[in-house]
Amino acid sequence: MSQREALLSSATIGIGGHADLMLGSAVPALSLFGASSFNLALGLKAGFSLHEWIQIAAGFESLSFSGVSAGYLYGVVTVGSERTNLSVGSATPTAVIEGNPTFGPTAAFLAGTLGLGRYVALASENWWVPALPQLSMVNAGMVRLTAWRLSLGLGAARIAPLRIPMPWIDLAVRVRG
């Protein structure tokens, strides 16, 4: 279970060894706009291991409100272990408004985690959108503290057109495994 950016509450469950299903909701929208703002976050990721240290995956994440869905399709290659790794991939944003799908410009991303011991890790996620010069880069970094089955990540994301960084907060609880 996870609470991301203080906006999206979600739960992810592993399906077999190499697939995850995520369900969630943008809880602030429910409290601000009431029951008429029902929304659903949905994600599916599937992949396989080429080697103990090399994984390949593809998937999608979306957030749907009444009559509108937005999200992205992605592919990623990860090299490393759970605590120390580097991922590179690309994503295509999608939107469906009243049943009409549209696709945005492809973006590339580079992300990684560096474990600094048993309880602390640094994480970074960097997106490059070459077709949108006004939003060409999104850079984020956080410190993740882990104890028992609880993980708390605190950091910030710099989005090119904004003057101040946005908080990046992630609270997760590992139920099993």
Is the pLDDT assigned to residue 32 strictly greater than 70? no
The CATH class given to the 2-173 domain equals mainly beta
Residues 6+ apart with CB under 8 A from 76: 47, 56, 57, 58, 87, 88, 89, 109
The reported pLDDT for the residue numbered 82 is 86
Is the pLDDT assigned to residue 33 strictly greater than 60? no
A 10 A CB-CB count for 98 gives 6
Alpha helices (H) along the chain: 27-33
pTM: 0.82
The reported pLDDT for the residue numbered 27 is 67
Confidence of residue 35 (pLDDT cuts 50, 70, 90): low
| pLDDT, tens digit, 9 for 90 and up, residues 138-174 | 899 999 999 988 899 999 989 877 888 888 888 888 7
Q: Provide the mean pLDDT of the chain.
A: 86
Longest dimension (CA), the chain: 49
The reported pLDDT for the residue numbered 31 is 54
Strand partners, 33: none
Q: By CB neighbour count within 10 A (0-12 exposed, 13-18 middle, 19+ buried), where does 106 fall? A: middle
Ordered by start, the domain boundaries in the chain are 2-173
| pLDDT, tens digit, 9 for 90 and up, residues 47-73 | 999 999 999 999 999 988 777 888 999
